[in-house]
């Protein structure tokens, strides 16, 4: 029997890893969960464990925020010690955050087989720290689980052997389908005085949008104008909150700022939004799964299926494109979209099926 170590660290990891941890548990696989502590505020971390029913981490590395090098290095030092103590036979990482890369390098150097969930996504924009994390993590992974067809194509083009690549679908969408009905039944819009189907939901946290102060000013001015037609609810990431305060950037009364929201509250709000404006990666996917119009405040996306199949459009931080997009959505001129292949709520089952076959082939079955 083998021992599996799953690593999480930042908010988007939790929804991707939970269905895999649950599926491993259902099949009786020996496993332990490591939380790096990259995100540590209760609203960015604990609440997700509670709502997703993700077991408490067996090991908490408590690394916290720092520069990229220091954060990545601190996770590596702590995770290496964890691996030496617990001796996992397989490490699973997901997504593209610094915790993903740090854990991947440690596993590779200790010669522990490594699985990457959400492999192969590429924005081809090295100014995004996540792009560096994706490329390097894939480079050292043994099992690469792609969420969409573009991931498979990129991995093939980069010379990854075919046998390592598995198109399994989207684990984040597994979590979404499991929870969306309960999330909507709670009517989270009431808390903010909103009507379902008649508000815009905004999130912003990318350094290119919030650390570049002119970009942030332009975006906030545009959001203020959008709010003249459609009430805006804006749960503010801590990074963004700090910039708005530092630069004294004001919002109009139509824009409601809140702290980061729990998973179920945000999911319910997203499901009944008129539209979503975001620079997040995961929210582009979640809106496509829900069929809700999404304007992505970026020049590129590593998730092209959300555009070709889904409800997403890239608008950068250009006020004219953003306002034109919102006007089209309000007029009802927006594709309803369809879900990319395997975004069906069963991606984690396919991941564990592949792990099962991989273990059997090596003579080390999962159970």
Positions annotated as catalytic residues are: 205
Which lies closer to ligand UD1 via its Cβ, residue 64 or residue 161?
Answer: 64
Applying CB under 6 A, the span of 19-27, 90-98, 186-194, 303-311 interacting with ligand UD1 comes to: 90-98
Specify whether the CB–CB gap between 172 and 286 falls below 8 A: yes
Q: What is the DSSP code string of 29-82?
A: -EEEEEE--SS-STTTTHHHHHHHTPPPPSEE-------HHHHHHHHHHHHHHH
Which lies closer to ligand UD1 via its Cβ, residue 31 or residue 170?
Answer: 170
Interaction between residue 313 and ligand UD1 (CB under 6 A): no
Using CB under 6 A as the binding rule, the residues of this chain from 147 to 166 that contact ligand UD1 are: none
CB of 39 to ligand UD1, least distance (A): 4
Which lies closer to ligand UD1 via its Cβ, residue 65 or residue 252?
Answer: 65
Applying CB under 6 A, the span of 32-40, 223-231, 302-310, 329-337 interacting with ligand UD1 comes to: 32-40
* Calpha distance 273→195 (Å, rounded): 9
Distance from the Cα of residue 101 to its chain's centroid: 15
Cβ partners under 8 Å of residue 212, min gap 6: none
# binding residues, ligand UD1 (CB under 6 A):
18
Using CB under 6 A as the binding rule, the residues of this chain from 182 to 211 that contact ligand UD1 are: 205
Which lies closer to ligand UD1 via its Cβ, residue 10 or residue 78?
Answer: 10
Using CB under 6 A, which of 238, 254, 291, 319 touches ligand UD1?
A: 238
Applying CB under 6 A, the span of 36-44, 74-82, 135-143, 287-295 interacting with ligand UD1 comes to: 36-44
Q: What does R_g of the chain's alpha carbons equal in angstroms?
A: 20
* Calpha distance 149→122 (Å, rounded): 12
Instruction: Find the length of the chain.
Output: 367
Q: Is 144 exposed, middle or buried (0-12, 13-18, 19+ CB in 10 A)?
A: buried
CB of 52 to ligand UD1, least distance (A): 16
Cβ partners under 8 Å of residue 95, min gap 6: 10, 12, 13, 16, 117, 118, 281
Interaction between residue 239 and ligand UD1 (CB under 6 A): yes
Report residue 235 as tokens.
């749960």
* Calpha distance 74→287 (Å, rounded): 34
Which lies closer to ligand UD1 via its Cβ, residue 41 or residue 195?
Answer: 41
Interaction between residue 98 and ligand UD1 (CB under 6 A): yes
Applying CB under 6 A, the span of 23-31, 83-91, 164-172, 237-245 interacting with ligand UD1 comes to: 237-245
Contact positions vs ligand UD1 (CB under 6 A): 10-12, 38-41, 44, 65, 96-98, 129-130, 205, 237-239
């Amino acid at each position: 029997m083998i021992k599996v170590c799953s690593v999480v660290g930042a908010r988007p990891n939790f929804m991707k890893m939970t269905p895999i941890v649950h599926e491993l548990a259902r099949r009786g696989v020996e496993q332990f969960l490591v939380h790096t502590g990259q995100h540590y505020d209760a609203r960015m971390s604990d609440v997700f464990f509670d709502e997703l029913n993700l077991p408490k981490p067996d090991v908490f590395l408590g690394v916290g925020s720092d520069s990229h090098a220091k954060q990545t290095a601190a996770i590596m030092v702590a995770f290496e010690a964890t691996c030496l103590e617990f001796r996992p036979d397989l490490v699973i990482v997901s997504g593209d955050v610094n915790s993903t890369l740090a854990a991947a390098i440690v596993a590779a150097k200790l010669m522990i087989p490594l699985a990457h969930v959400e492999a192969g996504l590429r924005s081809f924009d090295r100014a995004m720290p996540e792009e560096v994390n994706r490329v390097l993590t894939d480079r050292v992974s043994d099992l690469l689980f792609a969420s969409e067809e573009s991931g498979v194509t990129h991995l093939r083009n980069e010379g990854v052997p075919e046998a390592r690549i598995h198109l399994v679908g989207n684990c984040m969408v597994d979590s979404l389908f499991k929870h969306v009905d309960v999330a909507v039944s709670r009517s989270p819009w009431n808390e903010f005085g909103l009507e379902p189907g008649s508000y815009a939901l905004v999130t912003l946290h990318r350094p290119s949008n919030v650390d570049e102060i002119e970009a942030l000013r332009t975006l906030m001015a545009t959001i203020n104008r959008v709010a003249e037609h459609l009430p805006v609810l804006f749960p503010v990431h801590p990074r963004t909150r700090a910039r708005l305060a530092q630069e004294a950037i004001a919002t109009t009364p139509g824009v409601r700022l809140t702290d980061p929201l729990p998973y179920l509250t945000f999911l319910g709000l997203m499901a009944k939004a008129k539209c979503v404006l975001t620079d997040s990666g995961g929210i582009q996917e979640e809106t496509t799964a829900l069929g809700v119009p999404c304007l992505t405040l970026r020049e590129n996306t590593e998730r092209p299926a959300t555009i070709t199949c889904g409800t997403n459009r890239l608008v950068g931080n250009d006020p004219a494109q953003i306002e034109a997009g919102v006007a089209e959505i309000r007029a009802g001129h927006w594709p309803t979209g369809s879900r990319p292949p395997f975004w069906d709520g069963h991606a984690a089952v396919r991941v564990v099926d592949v792990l099962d076959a991989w273990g059997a082939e090596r003579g080390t079955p999962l159970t």
